[in-house]
Amino acid sequence: MEMLIEIVYFLSAVVFIFGLKQMSSPVTARQGIVWAGIAMVIASLFTFGDPAVLHNTGNLGWIVLAIVMGSAIAYVTAKRVAMTDMPQMIAIYNGMGGGAAAAIAAVELVKVAGGAPAPATTVLVLAVLGAVIGAVSFSGSAIAFAKLQGLINKTIRLPMHMMINLMMFAVALAIGGMMAFTGEIDPNMLLIFFVVTLVFGVMFTLPIGGADMPVVISLFNALTGLAVAFEGFVLQNAAMIIAGTVVGSSGTLLTQLMAKAMNRPISNVLFSSFGSSTGEAADEEIAGSMKEIQGYDAAIMMAYASKVIIVPGYGMAVAQAQHKLKELEALLEERGVTVKYAIHPVAGRMPGHMNVLLAEAGVDYDKILDLDEINPEFPTAEVALVIGANDVVNPVARSNPDSPIYGMPILDADKAQNTIVIKRGRGAGFSGIENHLFYADNTRMLYGDGQKAVAELIAGIKQL
């Protein structure tokens, strides 16, 4: 039986890697996740035959119950949640994985605390490391979820926040190291250890601005992978080691890609608490004023253009305006207008967030263009329609070296002949930085909820 389980684990590790590979192409992506899913189910079923699981048969019923409960909750929430809220759900499911890794470590460490013979030092070190990483990922992801869900709106920052964080991290490592290297675990110390790590995860995530959350979620995803791999070493489980490590490294790469798109080193995202300290740079004098436009006038501008570039942002996601946009696109194309979509790598709350939503509405792939592809086209477009995007079109990123977003590649919506900005209110963007684009001479503001504003545009065009 054990041999059989090993073979199943080996095969599922292969299938996971293969599945991830398939997920990297739109054609095979669906197939990839289904394969990985099948491998996961088979691996879990065979695990019931593991002698360690059968060791205490009284627990079998509880295991099944726990699986059913966890699965049911996750299934219902994942099925119900709106596509726009997906990023925070990924955060929460990821946090659950981190919590599970920490729980595995906790069971092993509690055993030692209860008098069981301590395993080798390397095993204890990995158990402790996995516990720290998993617990941080767990509580940190919960905060990321709360921020994206709007449960926490402010970036909270205590005096000496960095110092406190560093100290907590040091305390966690010190206690962990002591437990691992002496092999003697005091139950109270163990409790303190977990409390400190969990609080550290919260404190670590709290000061990070909502705009940076995608990077943070991606980082936690990679961390959970690593924690799973470490606990895999503890339990001598090859499937966990390989799958966890693969996720750890691919997640790290993905995190780097995202941070690179924002042109900010990862350390900046994590430690500079971007969102809260932008006051000084935003004080700069802005020439001009915001000029309002009515839906009907904006519709005429677009209807008689030859090329319109749509720049969607998080506002589009919130307003669920993607279907209306698709309708607008169809109307404009009937009139012979070329319509393209410009997607900034970090538009929305995750890379690809906008692409997913536009795909949901049925927009063709070849009309959705990346930053590098679309930027040369802005000067030839009569109208750039910015809907719910802000920081990713803010020209200060090019012009003002003092600005916190200076150097971030942006979409050159300001270089279009006319720019129409659909925006709910007059406030600054997610980062709190004033957007000079809104004050430019050729920019007109169309205030209102994204969906309603686009509906106005559609109505306007239909009247022509």
**DSSP assignment, residue 393?**
G
Instruction: Tell me: does residue 152 bind another protein (CB under 8 A).
Output: no
Interface with another protein, residue 240, by CB under 8 A: yes
Tell which positions 349-368 bind another protein, by CB under 8 A.
350-353, 355-356, 359-360, 364-366, 368
Mark whether 391 is an active-site residue.
yes
Q: Is residue 440 close enough to count as binding another protein by CB under 8 A?
A: no
Asked if residue 10 binds another protein (CB under 8 A), the reply is: no
Which of these segments, 96-104, 312-320, 387-395, 448-456, binds another protein (CB under 8 A)? 96-104
| Site membership for another protein, residue 173 (CB under 8 A) | no
Q: Which two three-digit tokens encode residue 202?
A: 């919260």
What lies within 8 Å, CB to CB, of 382 at 6+ separation is 301, 304, 305, 306, 307, 308, 416, 417, 418
**Shortest Å distance, C-beta 248 to another protein:** 7
User: 324: helix, coil or strand?
Assistant: helix
Q: How far is CA 446 from CA 90, 386, 454, in A?
A: 33, 10, 10
Residue 253 lies near another protein (rule: CB under 8 A)? yes
Query: Per rule CB under 8 A, is residue 33 in the interface with another protein?
Result: yes
Taking CB under 8 A as the binding criterion, the range among 9-17, 199-207, 271-279, 449-457 that sits at the site for another protein is: 9-17
- Counting contacts by CB under 8 A, is residue 304 touching another protein? no
User: Does 139 participate in binding another protein (rule CB under 8 A)?
Assistant: no
Task: Please work out, in degrees rounded to the nearest 5, the angle formed at the alpha carbon of residue 134 by the alpha carbons of 131 and 138.
Answer: 130
- Tell me the closest approach of the beta carbon of residue 288 to another protein, in angstroms: 34
Give least dist CB 392 to another protein, A.
Answer: 14
309, β-bridge pairs: 340, 384
Q: Which of 86, 185, 196, 213 binds another protein (CB under 8 A)?
A: 86
SS3 content of the chain, % helix, strand, coil (to 5): 65, 5, 25
Could you tell me how far CA 334 lies from the centroid of its own chain? 37
Q: What are phi and psi of 292, to 5 degrees?
A: -85, 155
Catalytic residue, chosen from 212, 370, 391, 414, is: 391
Rg (the chain; Cα; Å): 25
**Binding residue for another protein (CB under 8 A) from 244, 295, 312, 450?**
244
Q: What is the length of the chain?
A: 464
The answer to the question of residue 429 lying near another protein (CB under 8 A) is: no
Of 121, 122, 399, 463, which one interacts with another protein (CB under 8 A)?
122
Choosing from 1, 24, 288, 294, the residue that interacts with another protein (CB under 8 A) is 24
Q: Report the site for another protein in 43-72 (rule: CB under 8 A).
A: 43-44, 47-48, 50, 52-56, 59-60, 62-63, 65-71
Tokens representing residue 35 in the block: 């394969």
Write the single-letter amino acid at 175.
I
Q: Are 17 and 246 in contact (CB under 8 A)?
A: yes
- Burial class (CB within 10 angstroms; exposed 0-12, middle 13-18, buried 19+) of 276: middle
Under the binding rule (CB under 8 A), the answer on residue 79 touching another protein is yes
- Does 238 interact with another protein (rule: CB under 8 A)? yes
The two structure tokens encoding residue 389: 């995007």
Tokens 């019931």 sit on residue = 48
- Distance separating alpha carbons of residues 92 and 139, to the nearest angstrom: 10
Nearer to another protein (CB atom), residue 75 or residue 304 = 75
Instruction: Answer whether 164's CB lies under 8 Å from 203's CB.
Output: yes
Decide if residue 36 touches another protein (CB under 8 A).
Answer: yes
List b or e across 199-212, with b for residues whose CB sees 16 or more CB atoms inside 10 angstroms. Answer: bbbbbbbbbbbbbb
Minimum gap (Å) between residue 456 Cβ and another protein: 27
Q: List, as one string, the DSSP characters of 42-89.
A: HHHHHHTT-HHHHTTGGGHHHHHHHHHHHHHHHHHHHHHS-GGGHHHH
Interacting positions 178-237 with another protein (CB under 8 A) = 217-218, 221, 224-225, 228-229, 231-233, 235-237
Q: Using CB under 8 A, which of 11, 40, 290, 300 touches another protein?
A: 40
Neighbour tally for 455: CB within 10 Å: 17
Nearer of residues 77 and 380 to another protein, judged by Cβ = 77
Q: Which is nearer to another protein, 23 or 300 (CB)?
A: 23
Contact call for residue 74 and another protein (CB under 8 A):
yes
Is residue 88 at the binding interface for another protein, with CB under 8 A as the rule? no
Nearer to another protein, 210 or 351 (CB): 351
Catalytic residues: 391
